[in-house]
Amino acid sequence: MRIDEIGGEFGLIERVKDYHAGSGGNGLVLSIGDDAAVVSLNSYEQAVVTTDMLIERIHFRRDWSDPYSIGWKAAAVNLSDIAAMGATPTFAFLSLALTPKETVENVDRLYDGFMDCLNRYGARLAGGDTNVSPDYMVISVTQMGVIRANRALTRTGARIGDMILVTGNLGDSAAALALLNEYGLGKAEKIDKDLINSHRRPQPRVIAARAAAATGKVHAAMDISDGVVGDVRKMCAASGVGARLESVEVPISNALKNAAGILQRDPVTIALAGGEDYELLLAVAPSDVDDVIAAVGEVGTSVKPIGEIVKTGLRIMAANAIDELNPDALGWDHFGK
């Protein structure tokens, strides 16, 4: 049976889940199923560990993204997982597989981008591996972080009645990708270079997540990497609850509206299906929402409610607040494509 016949990446994750050690006991506080694993360090601190691979042609294209941006993104997507746990990034490990024809100048620029992103968020490069790859570049990063014992934000704590909050704007990265697909690099950059760069060099919400975590009022958190609808579904599954999203509340940028106009697509649908937003998804009790908004706002990041946690199911109200959108049509999976 082929992987695409068992539901692609998510079917595969489900299948291999049981190989993983159970959470709890022997120093493993949290295993597979969240943004990162949590490991005991001592009585007052825990380590958070995540690992993410970026593969040329799947996660990036050399004709659309320069080596500096590829390096930046490899760091950013891993730091985003550390952020989603509310942790402080510490050590990174960078493994590269390069074709024999790769130039050292490209490798230098890739490291520059990787290091600039690490430095911005206080992480350091502690090790890695270099290899040859026959035909395309593969980057694998392991990022560690640290957090006070039992303070890690997880996906499992969302409660019925919680508000669902997101940081920043959604859909910018997806719109950039659509422009690149439709028009190629040159024209896409002419339309909106900043938007294209938001796709190539995402900003992990490390600072905002720590501010949110410090309120002690976040019930559940994860980063939005596979589109907000798909990720809300994951948080609901982990917490054993449902959700109702209000399309009209989804924060979208003017850049997205403009790009959607050019693409003749609905900006809200782009934002909901999204992908690679690297914003935060939070579940917070209604009475605490103002405190979380204030704390995250203090470090310069916007955060707003887009729906609420309900008992079961996933409903997405259309912009008219009457019709419903089909959540199965919104989301993505690399194997399913």
Nearer to a copy of itself, 77 or 271 (CB): 77
Nearer to a copy of itself, 5 or 326 (CB): 5
CB of 233 to a copy of itself, least distance (A): 18
CB of 186 to a copy of itself, least distance (A): 25
CB of 194 to a copy of itself, least distance (A): 28
CB of 35 to a copy of itself, least distance (A): 10
Helical axes 67-84 vs 206-214, angle rounded to 10°: 10
CB of 183 to a copy of itself, least distance (A): 23
DSSP string, 10-66: HHHHHHHGGGSPPSSSTTEEE-SSSSSEEEE-SSSEEEEEEEEEEEBTTTB-TTTS-
- CB-based burial label for 153 (10 Å; 0-12, 13-18, 19+): buried
Nearer to a copy of itself, 55 or 317 (CB): 55
DSSP state of 221: E
CA distance 315 to 304: 19
251 contacts 166 by C-beta, under 8 angstroms:
yes
Nearer to a copy of itself, 102 or 182 (CB): 102
Sign of CA dihedral 235, 237, 241, 244: positive
Chain positions contacting a copy of itself, by CB under 8 A: 1-6, 9, 12-13, 15-16, 19-21, 26-28, 31-32, 36-37, 39, 41-42, 47, 49-53, 55, 57-59, 90-91, 93, 95, 97-98, 100-105, 107-108, 111, 114-115, 124-136, 138, 140, 142, 144, 334-335
Nearer to a copy of itself, 140 or 203 (CB): 140
* Tokens standing for residue 283: 């579940």
